[in-house]
Chain A
Amino acid sequence: MTDRFAPGDRVRTRIADPTHHTRLPRYARGARGEVVSTAGHHPLADERARGLASDPRAVYHVRFAASDLFGAGDHAVVVELWEDYLEPDGSPS
């Protein structure tokens, strides 16, 4: 399976708020960021935590501006996210 994203891609994180275990932190949901690098391929934590079979898929370091996460702040936050949590951000930010 080919990776859905590459470094430099603009992405938007999912908004969904699952009841099960997930590794997309709440503060980074529905946020726009940029893929910094690919960080390997791993089964999805959400599936493994529920005892489901899970194929490895790409995981990325995604950089967010703090102001896009919290409405304030001049720093950046890099979060490591499975590609399932991401969609392309085609719309202008």
Chain B
Amino acid sequence: MSRINDVGGMVGFPPIVEEPDEPRFHADWEAHVVALNGALLRRGVYNLDEFRDAIERIPPGEYLAASYYEKWFRAITTLLAEKGVARPEELAGD
């Protein structure tokens, strides 16, 4: 039942790619996601282990396809819905 995040020792991943002159964030929204997560953790809306758990529960195909901060944002909205802060359709803006 190991989750998709548990990749240590797996074979088949490609060579490691370094990005020259990598910026801290590739877009403003990534910094917003980090700040948002920090604010919600600080308020105790969820804890860091619940946050990691929510990332790990992303279905494997989507986990591997998503960028790092896309995974974070998805975990944040998952937890906001599960904690009853807002309904999924409200979070999606529908």
Contact between chain A and chain B defined by CB under 8 Å? yes
Given contacts A26-B9, A27-B8, contact A21 B2 (CB under 8 A): no
Is A74's CB within 8 Å of the partner chain B? no
Q: How far is the CB of A60 from chain B (nearest CB, A)?
A: 18
Cβ of B30 to closest chain A Cβ, rounded Å: 24
Chain A: interface residue count, which band? 10 to 19
Within 8 A of A (CB), among B5-31: 6, 8-9
Q: Hey, which chain B residues are within 8 Å of A51, CB to CB?
A: 50
Q: Are B49 and A21 in contact (CB under 8 A)?
A: yes
Count of B interface residues, CB-CB < 8 Å: 12
A75 within 8 Å of B by Cβ? no
Contact (Cβ within 8 A) A49 B9: no
Distance in angstroms between the alpha carbons of A20 and B2 in the assembled complex: 9
Q: When the two chains form their complex, are residues B53 and A21 in contact, meaning their CB atoms are under 8 A apart?
A: yes
Chain B residue numbers with a CB within 8 Å of A20 are: 53
18 A-B pairs within 8 Å (CB atoms) are namely A17-B1, A18-B1, A20-B53, A21-B52, A21-B53, A21-B56, A25-B6, A25-B9, A26-B2, A26-B6, A26-B9, A28-B8, A45-B49, A48-B47, A48-B48, A48-B49, A49-B50, A69-B9
Q: Which positions in A face B, CB cutoff 8 Å? A: 17-21, 25-28, 45, 48-51, 69-70
Which residues of B are interface residues toward A (Cβ below 8 A)? 1-2, 6, 8-9, 47-50, 52-53, 56
